Amino acid sequence: MDLGPYLLLASLEGAVAAAVLALTAVGLSLVFGVMRVVNVAHGEFFMLGAVLAWWFASLVAGHPAFGFVLALICAPLIAAVIAAAADYFVLKRLNYDPEATIVATIGLLYIIQQTVLMTYGPDARPVEAPFNARIYLPWFGYSTYKFFVIGAAIVLLIGVWIMLTKTRIGLVLRASQLDSEMALAFGIKVDQVYAMVFGLGAGLAAMAAVLVVPIQQAHYLMGGDPLLLSFIVVIIGGLGSIAGTVVAAILIGMSDGIISVFFSPTLAKIIATLLVAFVLIFRPTGLFGKRSI
């Protein structure tokens, strides 16, 4: 077999990784952009989505699609509610002081992780894909579910984009981001906006995890990689820039997939980290950022 099919396979794997990463990183980017909060617990909301997906799937008997659909709706919702509560009861009380919120979200990280360990346990558990037909390309078969993941991520990202740019909620959100004091002086309930954004960010991460869990298995330590990669993507894309985040996610996700197939996943992480270092040195505001940090 020559190189072509390998490259195609690697690109497909990369596209799946990019799709999941884009969703996760946009959640992190939104939270940072609007609230200026660095959410270190972001990866745990991803993990929570995966574990909840397993739980919902195990609740429902019959065709795996039922459990999956239930998980796709409920798991992000639960993650969002937990995040919004954490914002309301913890971050708000810290007045969103940058250092204090980092410490608080580190605390949140351990609380979620340990709670899952105590309840769900240390095992990695699979969730059955809702459908599993394979498409036979001339060189190899490929799971239709993976195409679905890519498609679903695109639809969700377009949804977020429309929400931000075309709706009243998006307008209120952008106004709060630009000048929260003036937003307040124009009747915007900034507290509610923040809780909603923090919930939305966590919900997107959880959604990404639900999509990925039929491919990857749920495990209580699975939040680390998405967190690291999301940070990389948000920094490369430009802090607070949603478009930049998506572009960087595609870049990092694709190269991660391709390098992992041809060489090793470790090399992929090393290269991504090096890329961040270069971006920070030569273009500290990121590819799409314009504000200085």
Instruction: List residues binding other proteins (CB under 8 A).
Output: 168, 171-172, 174-175, 178-179, 181-190
Shortest Cβ 177–other proteins spacing (Å) = 9
Spell out a b/e string for 116-139, using b for 16 or more CB atoms within 10 Å of the CB, else e.
Answer: beeebeeeebebebbeeeeeeeee
Cβ closest to other proteins, residue 136 vs residue 186:
186
* Residue 93 tokens, joined: 């009380």
List b or e across 245-259, with b for residues whose CB sees 16 or more CB atoms inside 10 angstroms: bbbbbbbbbbbbbbb
d(CA 160, CA 26): 9
- Are the beta carbons of 114 and 48 closer than 8 angstroms? no
Closest approach, Cβ 276 to other proteins, in A, equals 26
Q: Quick one: 158 or 178, whose CB is closer to other proteins?
A: 178
Residue 33 to residues 28, 178, 189, 235, 240, Cα–Cα distance (Å)? 8, 9, 17, 12, 4
Give min distance, CB of 217 to other proteins, in A. Answer: 42
CB of 33 to other proteins, least distance (A): 11
In terms of CB distance, is 63 or 189 closer to other proteins?
189
Beta bridge partners of 164: none
CB of 98 to other proteins, least distance (A): 16
Q: How far is the CB of 240 from other proteins (least distance, A)?
A: 11
C-beta closer to other proteins: residue 182 or 293: 182
**Cβ 259 vs Cβ 20: under 8 Å:** no
Nearest residue (CB) to other proteins, 135 versus 169? 169
Nearer Cβ to other proteins (63/291): 291
Q: Cβ of residue 285: shortest distance to other proteins, in angstroms?
A: 15
Whole-number Å distance between alpha carbons of 68 and 129: 7
> Could you tell me where the DSSP H helices lie in the chain?
3-35, 42-59, 64-86, 98-119, 144-166, 168-178, 180-185, 190-216, 224-237, 242-262, 265-282
Dihedral through CA 239, CA 258, CA 210, CA 84, nearest 10? -10
Our CB check for other proteins shows the closer of 171 and 277 to be 171
